[in-house]
Amino acid sequence: MTYKNGKKDMFKAEQAILAEAQRRLTSEDQEIDWRDAYAALCDHFSLLLRDAMKITSAGDLSYHRLIKAKEEIERLNRDNYNLAIFDALTGVHNRHYLLDQFGKEYAKAQRYKSPLALVLMDLDHFKQINDAFGHQVGDEVLRTVSARVRDHVRQQDTFGRYGGEEFLLILPGIDRDDASLVAEKIRKIVDSETVEVGELDITVTVSMGLAQYTPAYDTNQDIFLSRADNAMYMAKSRGRNQIVMDELAP
């Protein structure tokens, strides 16, 4: 069986054998006593060849269907993976993924005594934006702000939507001073440019709480995270649009 240019040439050699056999069958010089047997053999070969070609065509169709099904499964796997780790509204990482990554980074910091910082941030007066302009505008504010922050974090950092209008930034391998610089950079990015939604120009600011991993205090990751949360609420109580470092930072 030959395979040169797809299905058309797949049985080229077999078809040539059959053509030669049929030519000899009709030739005047063949002996009559074995011609019937030879004719039966040619018919049988012809049927087998025809069946083989049908099977091959069906096989090609099944193969293409299999490839299509495989591609669809891969697409569904990607979609399911994205749903598992990304927030549907903003496109940044979701709470589940954030907590999973936080657990890994916390374990690493605990084991190797490596620096780790958390920045928990909350959009100021977001409820008023929703009440004044509607949830569609509020959703666009969340999408725009999260995209701006995401575009200005390091590759090794993890940023995502922690819930509602709260976002969490995980900064591995970074000390308190550098973490403060990162947080201030993000605060300025959010504050310096309005969010345009249709004809609206909406000013958005963010309150941020920063916690640095401290082994003496952070005996579990919940305590560590609560320190960032407390610092964030302190930033809001002090007038918003600012960063507060947690009180336990060395």
- Per the CB < 8 A criterion, the answer to whether 96 and 103 are in contact is no
Q: Give the per-residue SS3 of the chain.
A: CCCCCCHHHHCHHHHHHHHHHHHHHCCCCCCHHHHHHHHHHHHHHHHHHHHHHHHHHHHHHHHHHHHHHHHHHHHHHHHHHHHHHECCCCCCECHHHHHHHHHHHHHHHHHHCCCEEEEEEEECCHHHHHHHHCHHHHHHHHHHHHHHHHCCCCCCCEEEEEECCEEEEEEECCCHHHHHHHHHHHHHHHHHCCEEECCEEECCCEEEEEEECCCCCCCCHHHHHHHHHHHHHHHHHCCCCCEEECCCCC
Catalytic residue among 72, 140, 165, 196: 165
Active site residue 165: yes
Neighbours of 250 (CB within 10 A): 7
Q: Can you list the alpha helix ranges (DSSP code H) found in 86-116?
A: 95-112
Query: Which residue numbers are catalytic?
Result: 165
